[in-house]
Amino acid sequence: GAGVSQSPSNKVTEKGKDVELRCDPISGHTALYWYRQSLGQGLEFLIYFQGNSAPDKSGLPSDRFSAERTGGSVSTLTIQRTQQEDSAVYLCASSPLVGRAGNTIYFGEGSWLTVV
């Protein structure tokens, strides 16, 4: 597709359930990011994937959060045993380049997660 695609766009889940959020980056983009945005707040870095390198997981808030990227393309963010404080918009982004040569990052529309 032309842009970063995320699904589902909206998800309501019960506290304690697991959820999976999917991201399909722009074709040919080697770098993929997950960010979280709570209501009225800025963007919080979660995790970064680049090619076959080990991902930077330094932003994941707890061990209930995990992410994988299969085949260097699609990524899935999994939240286990969801809590109400996990309610937020989860944004995926991708970029075509890495390194100091230039790194414009393009975002998807986000997955709005509500934990009830």
Partner 1 sequence: GESVGLHLPTLSVQEGDNSIINCAYSNSASDYFIWYKQESGKGPQFIIDIRSNMDKRQGQRVTVLLNKTVKHLSLQIAATQPGDSAVYFCAERLNDYKLSFGAGTTVTVRA
Contact residues toward partner 1 (CB under 8 A) are: 4, 31, 33, 35, 41-43, 45, 48, 50, 56, 91, 95, 98-100, 102-110
Q: How far is the CB of 67 from partner 1 (least distance, A)?
A: 15
Pairwise CA distance, residues 47 & 56, whole Å = 6
Residue 31's CB is within 10 A of a number of other CB atoms, namely 19
Which residue number, 50 or 80, has a Cβ lying nearer to partner 1? Answer: 50
Pairwise CA distance, residues 116 & 31, whole Å = 33
Q: How far is the CB of 98 from partner 1 (least distance, A)?
A: 6
Residue 12's CB is within 10 A of a number of other CB atoms, namely 12
Which residue number, 27 or 83, has a Cβ lying nearer to partner 1? Answer: 27
What is the greatest pairwise CA distance in the chain? 44
Q: How far is the CB of 57 from partner 1 (least distance, A)?
A: 12
